[in-house]
Structures are given as structure tokens and as C-alpha cells.
Amino acid sequence: MYSGTTVFSQLMQQLPWRRFQAFVDRYQGDYKVKTFRCTEHFRVMAFAQLTYRESLRDIEACLRAMEPKLYHMGIHSSVSRNNLSNANENRDWRIYAEFAQILIRDARELYANDSTFPDLDATVYALDSTTIDLCMTMFPWAHFRRAKSAVKMHTLLNLCGNIPEFILISKGDMHDVNVLDHIMPSPGAYYVMDRAYIDFERLYSLHTLKAYFVTRAKKNFQFQRRYSHPVDRSTGVICDQSVMLTGFYPKKNYPEVLRRIKYRDPDGRLLIFMTNDFSLPALMVAELYKGRWQIELFFKWIKQHLRIKVFFGTSANAVKTQIWIAVCVYLLVAIMKKRLRIEQSLYTILQILSVSIFEKMPLLQAFQGTNYSNEKDDLCKQLSLWD
């Protein structure tokens, strides 16, 4: 019988705790804190994410029911709603944001070879945002509309393994295009965006930094055709053109040539793409934009399987803390999947962890399914009940 540590303890051992403590010291997270330090706070919030807890009372009740096992989980002080609420309100959210960057770096190295576009020798990013609705009465600081509050989660997703490399949490009224001012582009990388990010001055900044962008053109896109490249219409590509902007401000903000591609997808929809890369085949540009759907699936996944829609605190610090710890849990599960070579999906891994978190078994054993069958005795002397 295995008498080692719990599954939760083994999972937490996958984290670089020394780096975490460095961020705690940087932002004085444990200043004048005698009990319930930041490491314990992170563990409790990670437990809430992994076991789908819905409130502070829910967390407190579950952990107190397992109080003899808390010490072996790394939780050395009593967990109460008051302690947890104060930690969410007062512990600097940047501790967990900085820690997430360390996990992002580790995950990026592990998933470096899992490219969605193996024929493309470049990193492909998808940029988008998702809105998390909040109650105006409880979250008045997160102004979105006249009678509604919300926060936006702006995300730059690396399509190699679907790893979020940049996240900005803002109020709901921040326009998506402004997030381009917070991103440091990587030369040679592709940034796939929808029409909300069309700002020719910012797109030209990407161009001057040797980064490529792929986006859809707006309906009022004004241009002058300079050259039409030959295309194979059987692939769905209708035209491939080199164009110049004709509007006063667009031409001033982006004075160089752009590439315009008109494409009809298999469902019959007509799509017009715009990019600054003239070397890729036109069909590959359409495939790159199709890959943008991965970030929509990422947002759907984390909203369904992590706790970022119901919050344990009402302040901006509490909301950002919970979101960043949820991102850390997502990255931790992704890292564990790769390190232990687990074949199950992230969804299946989370479901297994949610019911085996207190079990004492080797971590890998929890994900190794075993097929059981009843032994049938050929010499059974049981008489038939029916002739």
C-alpha cells in the first residue's frame, strides 16, 4: 500500500517554489504575516480551482473536513473565510502574475515542437480578448457600460501548445486595440488578429519591428491596387493583390504596400485578409487566420473548467489574484501533462484531479487507466435456474 504524499502535494512539487518566494519577497507579500503565508494562499486557491469550489464558505468547509491532511498538503495554518478573504484583498496580485511568467517560460520550452503549423518556421500568436461580466453593485470599479461592470482578459496565445504568453486584465471599457501598446513584438513572428485590432499606426509599428500580422479587412477598407499576383481559384483564393492605402490618415500612418487576399472558404463565406507578409502562399495566410479560432477555444475552455466567472472577492486585487492563479493552474496542468507524458486531455486530467486530490498514490498512477474484467470459472457447478 502506498503511504507517501497526496496527489495534491505531488502536483504542487512540480512548481518552482524558490522563484515564487522571490516574488513574495519582492512585493512584500508576507510582510507582518504570522500565519497563512502566500505559499499557503496559493495552495488553497489552487485547491479551489482544481476541485471546482464556488465560494469561500465552500472552500472552508471542504478543507476543514480534511484537516488532518492539510499539513501534508503544505497548508500549516487554519483556513478560514476571514483569512482567505483578507489574503485575496491584500496580497499583491503581481506576485502571482510574475509567477505565471515563470510557468509560461517552462511550458513554452516543453511545447516548442507542438506547432499547429509545422511547415512554417516561425512562432504564430493569436491575439484576442474575452469579457467577464460582473455585477455593477459589487464591482463598481470595473465600469463597462451604464448599468454593467466587467473585466477584459486580453490574451496573446502561442499556438504551439496553446500557451498564453501575455495576459492583461483591464476594465471592460478598454478597447481591444490598445493592448497592442503593451506587447513587445518578436521579429519574425506572426500575430493573427480580428478586425478589432486594425489601427494602421500600431500595425505599422509591428511592421517596422520586423513582425508579421494577419487580420481581416474592414468593409470600408479603401485602397488602390498596385499589382495582382497569379492565383489558383480552385483553392478558394479569388485574388492576391499588392495595395496602397488611399485614406488620408491610413496612408499617413501606414505609408508602405500591403497585401490583400480575397478568399472563399468551403462554407461559401467570402473573407478578405490583410497582411504585411508577401512571401507566404495566399492559402497559407487563410490557414493562419483559421488558426485564430484556437484562442476562442482557449477562452471557452478556461471559462468552463476554471473559476474565473464567480469570484471570491470584490476588489480589483482579488479579481486579478484569482484570474492569475487560475492561469497558473492551467499552466501547471499543461506542464505536468508534458513532463509525465500523460495522454489524456487537459479536461480529463482536471476531472481526475478533482476526485483524487486527497488520495495517497503515485501521481502518474492516477492517470493510468486499468481495464478490469471478472474472472469466469469454467468449472462452475451452479445449476441453471431455468431449463
Grid cell, residue 329, equals 493552474
pTM over 0.85: yes
Residue 277 has pLDDT above 50, yes or no: yes
**Under 8 Å CB-to-CB from 364, ≥6 apart: which residues?**
340, 342
Residue 386 has pLDDT above 90, yes or no: no
**152-166 tens-digit pLDDT:** 999 999 998 889 999
Which own/partner contact pairs does 220-225 have at CB distance under 8 Å and 24+ positions apart? 221/260, 221/272, 221/274, 222/246, 222/247, 222/250, 223/258, 223/260, 225/260
| pLDDT attached to residue 371 | 45
Q: Answer with the residue of higher pLDDT: 149 or 77.
A: 149
pLDDT bracket for residue 361 (50, 70, 90): confident
Residues 41-66 have a mean pLDDT of: 92
Grid cell, residue 156, equals 496573446
**Backbone phi, psi, residue 28, to 5°:** 55, 45
| Residue 38, CA distances (Å) to 66, 132, 187, 204, 346 in order | 21, 26, 37, 43, 26
Grid cell, residue 316, equals 480589483
Residues 223-234 have a mean pLDDT of: 92
pLDDT bracket for residue 373 (50, 70, 90): very low
Q: What is the spatial distance between Cα 321 and Cα 121, in angstroms, rounded to a whole number?
A: 36
pLDDT bracket for residue 9 (50, 70, 90): very high
> Which DSSP state fits 101?
H
**Under 8 Å CB-to-CB from 290, ≥6 apart: which residues?**
none
pLDDT bracket for residue 113 (50, 70, 90): confident
Q: What is the spatial distance between Cα 111 and Cα 103, in angstroms, rounded to a whole number?
A: 12
- In terms of C-beta density within 10 A (0-12 exposed, 13-18 middle, 19 or more buried), how is residue 313 classed? buried
* 161 phi-psi bin (left φ>0, alpha ψ -120 to 50, beta other): left
Q: What is the spatial distance between Cα 275 and Cα 256, in angstroms, rounded to a whole number?
A: 12
- Return mean pLDDT, the chain: 90
Which overall architecture, per CATH, does domain 194-278 show?
Single Sheet (2.20)
**128-146 tens-digit pLDDT:** 999 999 999 999 999 898 8
For residues 36 and 87, the answer to whether their CB atoms sit within 8 Å is: yes
The least confident of 92-101, 301-310, 347-356, 373-382 is 373-382
Q: What is the spatial distance between Cα 276 and Cα 222, in angstroms, rounded to a whole number?
A: 16
Domain chopping of the chain, boundaries: 7-94+312-367, 194-278
Grid cell, residue 249, equals 490618415
